[in-house]
Chains A and B, each alone.
Chain A
Amino acid sequence: MTKHHVTTTVNGDAVEFLCEAHETLLEVLRDGLGLTGTKEGCGTGDCGACSVTIDGRVVCSCLVLGVEAEGKAIQTIEGMAAGTRLHPLQRKFLEHAGLQCGICTPGILVAARSLLERNPDPTEEEVRYWLAGNLCRCTGYNKIIDAVLDAAREMRGADHA
Chain B
Amino acid sequence: MRYEAPRTLEAALALLSSANGQARVLAGGTDLLIGMRAGHVAPELLVDVKGITEMTSILAENGGFRLGAAVTCMDLVEHEAFAKAWPGVIDAVKLIGSIQVKGRATVGGNLCNASPAADSVPAMIAADASVSIAGPNGKREERIENFTTGPGKTALAKGEIVTSFLLPRRLPHSGDAYLRFTPRTEMDIAVVGAGVNLALDDGGVCRQARVSLGAVAERALLVPEAAAALIGSKVDAAALERLAAAASAACRPIDDKRGTREFRIKIAGVMARRAAEIALARARETS
Known contacts A45-B34, A57-B74, A63-B29; is-contact A70 B5 (Cβ 8 Å): yes
| CB-defined contacts of A22 to chain B, threshold 8 Å | 1, 36
Query: Are B34's CB and A63's CB within 8 A?
Result: yes
CB distance from B65 to the nearest CB of A (A): 21
Chain B binder among A77-85, A86-94, A127-135, A144-152: A127-135
Report the interface size class on chain A: 20 to 34
| CB-defined contacts of A106 to chain B, threshold 8 Å | none
- A24, A46, A132: the one contacting B33 at CB < 8 Å is A24
Against A, the Cβ 8 Å flags (1 = close, 0 = not) of B34-48 are: 101100000000101
Select the residue from B1, B26, B50, B104 with max chain A CB neighbours within 10 A. B104
Cβ of A139 under 8 Å from chain B: no
| CB-defined contacts of A45 to chain B, threshold 8 Å | 30, 33-34, 97-98, 100-101
Against B, the Cβ 8 Å flags (1 = close, 0 = not) of A36-74 are: 000000011110100100100111101111011010000
Against A, the Cβ 8 Å flags (1 = close, 0 = not) of B3-35 are: 101000000000000000000001011100110
Query: Are A132's CB and B3's CB within 8 A?
Result: no
Query: Are B29's CB and A133's CB within 8 A?
Result: no
B51-93 residues with Cβ-Cβ distance < 8 A to A are 72, 74
- A21, A51, A65: the one contacting B29 at CB < 8 Å is A65
- A43, A57, A67: the one contacting B72 at CB < 8 Å is A57
Q: How far, in angstroms, from A111 to B99 measured CA to CA in the complex?
A: 9
Known contacts A22-B1, A45-B30, A65-B29; is-contact A60 B186 (Cβ 8 Å): no
Cβ of B103 under 8 Å from chain A: yes
| CB-defined contacts of B33 to chain A, threshold 8 Å | 24, 45, 62-65
| CB-defined contacts of B171 to chain A, threshold 8 Å | none
| CB-defined contacts of B3 to chain A, threshold 8 Å | 4, 21, 65, 67
CB distance from B49 to the nearest CB of A (A): 12
Query: Are A59's CB and B100's CB within 8 A?
Result: yes
Cβ of B155 under 8 Å from chain A: no
Q: How far, in angstroms, from A129 to B187 measured CA to CA in the complex?
A: 10
Cβ of B257 under 8 Å from chain A: no
Cβ of B158 under 8 Å from chain A: no
Query: Are A64's CB and B100's CB within 8 A?
Result: no
Query: Are A60's CB and B1's CB within 8 A?
Result: no
The chain B residues found within 8 Å of chain A, CB to CB, are: 1-3, 5, 26, 28-30, 33-34, 36-37, 46, 48, 50, 72, 74, 97-101, 103-104, 186-187
Report, nearest first, the 3 A-B pairs whose CB atoms are least far apart.
A133-B98, A21-B3, A57-B103
A64-B33, A133-B101 provided; 6 other pairs, C-beta below 8 A?
A45-B30, A54-B103, A59-B100, A132-B99, A133-B98, A133-B187
